[in-house]
Structure 1
Amino acid sequence: MGLFKRIDVQAKIDNETGFGTTTSYSGNRLIHKDGSANVKKKGIGFLEHISWYHWMLTISSLKFWCIVLTFYLLVNLVFAVLYYSIGVENLNGIVATTELDKFGQAFFFSVQTFTTVGYGHINPTGFVTSFVSSIEALVGLLTFAIATGLFFGRFSKPRAYVRFSKKALIAPYKDGRALMIRVAPYKNTNLIDAVTRLTLGISTEEDGKATNKFYSLDLELERINALTLSWTIVHPITEDSPLYHFTEDDFKSIRGEFVAFFKTFDDMYSASVIKRTSYTFDEIVYGAKFLPMFSADTNKKTMLLHLDKLSDYEKVSL
């Protein structure tokens, strides 16, 4: 407890993190590496706490395409079953001898109606079949309108195309030590007016109750004019730092987490973009420094940024 008392006296406590202070949480981390909060909402219905449009914009490309193709196949399969149940004799132009051929042609008629292609060699007859095909055409138009919005939203959504180093380092700094994290852009975007904040969260027990304590960490630089190469975010470990009394064993025995917040202006999108990540104490390398990740090309006229070296470091003594 003496360690945390010294921290409370010297360090600046941050109670505005959104995670609260009293908790029974004993999981792995508060913020995932991708920046999303390690929180699940319960107590309300599934449809109430899920924004399907936001979810479709944020899922991976693989999941997105799997959902789109699955929905496309299922809708056409449902309407093919309806046409087959009504009777394929109500679809002029179908020439089939086996039941499988009849169902297959009903399926592809559904595809043509759903996409409004309408090749014309098959057409519905009778009220029921015509009514079903008109409903399918309406569903197809609405579905493609929604899909177009999703495609545009995913394509045009502003993103912070930056990457953080996989590890945070406790490195030599001037006459002492510092916590260092490295960040770099990885797309052909122009990022200006970059701002970062770093918060330390520590879990401990006070009077038999689990407690979260958060501390705002002072940085060497909180803002830079442009992020063109890499930026090493530095928190000097001075007497005012909550890490001042920390040893290498403390990082192994105490459950804590650094939350990094990064915000910049992307002039290609003309919008501010945000990136978050976190480093648990087991992702801290004690006694190391980052290796250079940029160099000049062979003609010495262009700077090369080696993104594959973003997380490269070497061990040093403190």
Structure 2
Amino acid sequence: MIRRRQSDRDHLVRIGDREFLTRGLDQSFWTDAFHNSMSVSWPLFFGGFALYFLTMNLLFAFLFWLGGDCIANARSDSFVDLFFFSIETLATVGYGDMHPQNIYGHSIATMEIFTGMSTLAVFTGLIFARFSRPRARVIFADSMTFAQHDGQATLMARFANARRSSVNEARAELWFVYTDTTAEGVGFRRFRHLALKQPRNPIFVFSWTLFHEVDENSPIFGHGREQLEAMDAYFMVVFVGLDDVSGQNVNVRQGYSWRDVKFGEVFADILSVGENGVPQIDYRRLSATEPQETDGED
């Protein structure tokens, strides 16, 4: 029995902006072919398809070559003619210049036509699924802020809709992820939900700022930068809504480390009124922050 080296099962996984090394899990392409086909980049997807197409045509061209003079009008000992005949057969084109002329040639051609029809159905379905999958175009600020808002210490996150269409019945959640030590002295990663002042937005068009009031009921009450660092704190924003164009639910998430929290600062205003009196949104300032004029808490 062949034993796979442990290093062969080591894979780097990215979740948000964090990287984790997974070990001992079989992550070959065929372990979850559909998910891998849906999650790889477009260049890698079409590159894999092209490699498959080339490999299959080389294989069937070789099978035709083993049959000798089984393809009419193909030049003698011309592997190139057999290769292009294989392409025409696999694609079910059939120009008619070359065709099988004995049982062996018809048998291999039949196998290739069946393979080509199956392959076309699979890749057509995958391409349609990739194109039709709804995606939200939501851009997030580079950091979060922690300052006073309406007289209360508040953790804030901001994001904006990068499309010209609206997202209806939008919902947002804010999660606090941190490392805690159990009574047995074991480190454990915990998830705590942070209540928002306005978790729903009926029509999300431009920008949206989330506010979590840090009062006595908040899981981060009394925590400053040093406490969050000791807990290896991580904040996650989850967005879900109904896209107005596709009519389908879209979702996206964004993570922030404790290093991304700016204490004593607030987000700069991105809404202004132009000279012609028309309100304007400056998305270039989405991540801009400024020190709060009043004393902030951390």
Q: In which range does the TM-score fall when normalised by the shorter chain? A: 0.7 to 0.9
Moved more, 154-163 or 217-226: 154-163
After TM superposition, the structure 1 = structure 2 runs for residues 55-134 of structure 1, keeping only pairs within 5 Å, are 55-87=36-68, 89-95=69-75, 102-134=78-110
Q: Which residue number in structure 1 is paired with residue 15 of structure 2? A: 32
Q: Which residue number in structure 2 is paired with residue 242 of structure 1? A: 219
- 1:108 aligned counterpart, secondary structure: helix
2:158 equivalent to 1:189: no
Separation in 1 of the partners of 2:148 and 2:92?
A: 66
> For the Cα contact (< 8 Å) 2:165–2:205, is it kept in 1?
no
- 1:172 aligned counterpart, secondary structure: strand
After TM superposition, the structure 1 = structure 2 runs for residues 1-318 of structure 1, keeping only pairs within 5 Å, are 32-33=15-16, 50-87=31-68, 89-95=69-75, 102-206=78-182, 207-295=184-272, 299-301=276-278, 303-316=279-292, 318=296
Pairs aligned (count): 281
Shift of 1:255: 1.0
Shift of 1:297: 5.8
> For the Cα contact (< 8 Å) 2:157–2:210, is it kept in 1?
yes
- 1:204 aligned counterpart, secondary structure: strand
| Structure 2: gaps (5+ residues) | 1-12
1:221-258 alpha-carbon deviations (Å, 9 max, x no partner): 11111111110111122222222211222233321221
Separation in 2 of the partners of 1:122 and 1:31?
A: 50
- 1:265 aligned counterpart, secondary structure: strand
Shift of 1:294: 4.3
Separation in 1 of the partners of 2:215 and 2:232?
A: 21
Separation in 1 of the partners of 2:129 and 2:19?
A: 22
Task: Specify whether residues 307 and 71 from structure 1 end up closer, same or farther in structure 2 by C-alpha distance, changes over 3 A only.
Answer: farther
Task: Specify whether residues 109 and 308 from structure 1 end up closer, same or farther in structure 2 by C-alpha distance, changes over 3 A only.
Answer: farther
| Higher-RCO chain (CA-CA 8 Å, sequence separation at least 6) | 1
Shift of 1:47: 8.4
1:29-50 alpha-carbon deviations (Å, 9 max, x no partner): x98227x9979696789689x4
Moved more, 51-60 or 110-119: 51-60
CA RMSD of aligned residues (A): 2.9
> For the Cα contact (< 8 Å) 2:70–2:104, is it kept in 1?
no
Separation in 2 of the partners of 1:266 and 1:259?
A: 22
Task: Specify whether residues 42 and 276 from structure 1 end up closer, same or farther in structure 2 by C-alpha distance, changes over 3 A only.
Answer: farther
> For the Cα contact (< 8 Å) 2:238–2:252, is it kept in 1?
yes
Separation in 2 of the partners of 1:309 and 1:137?
A: 57
Q: Which letter does structure 1 place at the counterpart of 2:131?
A: F
Separation in 2 of the partners of 1:229 and 1:264?
A: 14
Shift of 1:159: 2.1
> For the Cα contact (< 8 Å) 1:171–1:289, is it kept in 2?
yes
> For the Cα contact (< 8 Å) 1:179–1:234, is it kept in 2?
yes
Moved more, 218-227 or 174-183: 174-183
Q: Which letter does structure 2 place at the counterpart of 1:171?
A: A
Task: Specify whether residues 297 and 32 from structure 1 end up closer, same or farther in structure 2 by C-alpha distance, changes over 3 A only.
Answer: farther
Shift of 1:193: 1.1
Calculate the TM-score normalised by the size of structure 2.
0.82
Instruction: Tell me the percent identity.
Output: 26
> For the Cα contact (< 8 Å) 2:140–2:159, is it kept in 1?
yes
Shift of 1:107: 1.2
> For the Cα contact (< 8 Å) 1:229–1:294, is it kept in 2?
no
> For the Cα contact (< 8 Å) 1:251–1:284, is it kept in 2?
no
| Structure 1: gaps (5+ residues) | 1-29
Separation in 2 of the partners of 1:154 and 1:215?
A: 33
1:42-63 alpha-carbon deviations (Å, 9 max, x no partner): 6789689x44223322332222
- 1:139 aligned counterpart, secondary structure: helix
Separation in 2 of the partners of 1:157 and 1:201?
A: 29
1:163-222 alpha-carbon deviations (Å, 9 max, x no partner): 222322223323243111112111243201111111212212233111233322121211
